[in-house]
Chains A and B, each alone.
Chain A
Amino acid sequence: MYVAVKGGETAIENAHAWLAEERRGATDIDELSIAQIREQLGLAVNRVMAEGSLYDPDLATLAIKQSRGDLIEAIFLIRAYRTTLPRFGYSNPVKTGEMACDRRISATFKDAPGGQVLGPTFDYTHRLLDFKLAAEGEVPAALTAQPRTEATPHITEFLKGEDIIQDEPASDTTPGDLTREPMEFPSNRPLRLQSLTRGDEGFVLGMAYSTQRGYARNHAFVGELRIGKVGVEMDIPELGFAIDIGEIELTECETVNQFKGSKTEPPQFTRGYGLVFGQSERKSIAMALVDRALRWEELGEDNLGAPAQDEEFVLSHADNIQATGFLEHIKLPHYVDFQSELELVRKLRREAEERITPKEAAE
């Protein structure tokens, strides 16, 4: 039951004023600028764009500043802003095969054309705190070499000839859009991918990890991981042709999974797919593993009852804004609800006591 109660306006106003002061921190320390956050905390900005489901680095940065670095709060701000935007349309599918790759690695094919390009990675760092960063200093320039000018083809292209890896035939079926219609089950792969790419990184990571530990294990290798920029093209009705409307950074992961074959499919390698806004490597690998686990039915695999195979479980709990909304609402005033619960418990106690007391009196 909900009953409107008034009161607390002054307390709320004063709380928000204090929040603003705490957000600013000690005033003898320089205030962070939007540009500083965008340039120096780029991976936090990427996460907010990916889970906020809106590619706009400046907005994501503002949200991080406003939320004092609470990324889920920042994602919430972005999701709320997103709903105010008129939808101009849908882009043509991005051509990730034409990506200008900053990073491109494969755990399965050492000599893939285009090579193993590490990019600006944390891999192979020693994970020791670098106290030099605590002091200001010049950063030595990154080294350069002869740039690659041609596009880097997808690694799966090279396996296709042998028919040993499952194909991904192009289809132009209009995919469902969960920002337009609520999710219904059973769903389908395009909707699952939309849900996973904006899902909480921690949740998707946990689900992916569960498959590696044996809950619907699917023997994944990273066939290819690439990070870089791709153009976004859209048909413009008033022009009668498509133009690039921008360029975005993406992380794409394709897993190659061992597959013994099933009633419907021959033995071959199968695939899981992850595609995420920004440099979001952990998230896109996790997404590919969960995508693969959720494909059990289409590949004729057994349902082992593993959480990562249960699309209703995965997709209903992946969204951190839905989860936060429901979780955190229980801290808001429930005085009337609780009053009635209190009345009920007191009544039950009274009745229980009355049942005991007469017996004692009789003895």
Chain B
Amino acid sequence: MTDQTNNSKATRQDWMGLLARAPESALMPLWDKYEGRPNFEWLRSPEVGGVMVRGRTGGTGARFNLGEMTVTRCSLVLHDGTVGHGYVQGRSKPKAQAAALIDALMQTSAAGAVHDQVIAPLKGQMQTDRTDRASKAAATKVEFFTMVRGEDT
């Protein structure tokens, strides 16, 4: 695999992961504002299912099945033949459809516009939420100080 395809794989992993993790309430208003939605045909219309989440014993050891989570997936093709896949957490079919369309558009000449209007602001919002929680956690970090008791002989 060339560096370039590695790179494009990594960036696609990036945006697909972002779309999967994004709360519907954060993604949809951005997507609703985006103009220039393409026509498409379904390859697989949105379907709700479960994924068994795995962990490892002791965090690093043997794999075990932890429990399931809900996931909605779909696949579609734009009229120029670009295929988009949506795999998103939860049970929202509109969110899965938006994710698949964004995935397809990100592979076309519309990528720049979609990135600027949807991906970048979404990433920013999610990073802000994450930093907010990390900042609150940091304020609860224990600062130890030592008290000396008794006489030093």
Contact = CB atoms under 8 A, between A and B. Distances in A.
Interface of A: 49-50, 53-56, 58-59, 82, 85-94, 96-97, 100-103, 110-111, 115-121, 142-149, 154, 156, 168-179, 189-191, 193-194, 197-198, 231-234, 236, 238-239, 241-248, 252, 254, 271, 273, 275, 277
Contact of B59 (A55, A90, A96, A233): A96
B51 A86 contact: no
A56 B69 contact: yes
A169 B53 contact: no
Contacts of B142: 115-118
Interface residues of B, number: 55
A39 to B, nearest CB: 13
B57 interface: yes
Given A168-B60, A168-B61, A245 B51 contact: yes
B51 A91 contact: yes
A56 B141 contact: no
6 contacts: A88-B73, A94-B66, A116-B142, A145-B135, A168-B56, A246-B21
B69 A232 contact: yes
A176 B13 CA distance: 29
A85 B137 CA distance: 36
A149 B127 CA distance: 11
Contact of B70 (A55, A143, A172): A55
A82 B53 CA distance: 14
Interface stretch (B34-42, B84-92, B108-116, B117-125): B84-92
A102 B67 CA distance: 22
Nearest to B90: A56
B21 A244 contact: yes
Given A85-B49, A90-B52, A198-B67, A170 B60 contact: yes
Interface string B125-153: 00000111111111111101000000000
Given A91-B52, A245-B87, A254-B58, A85 B68 contact: yes
A177 B131 CA distance: 36
A88 B49 contact: yes
Contact of B144 (A87, A110, A117): A110
A345 B139 CA distance: 70
B102 interface: no
B50 interface: yes
Contact of A144 (B12, B65, B136): B136
B59 A97 contact: yes
Given A102-B133, A243-B17, A245-B88, A190 B58 contact: no
Contacts of A93: 54-56, 63
Contacts of A94: 53-56, 66
A166 to B, nearest CB: 8
A231 B21 CA distance: 8
B33 interface: no
B55 A169 contact: no
Contacts of B91: 56, 58-59
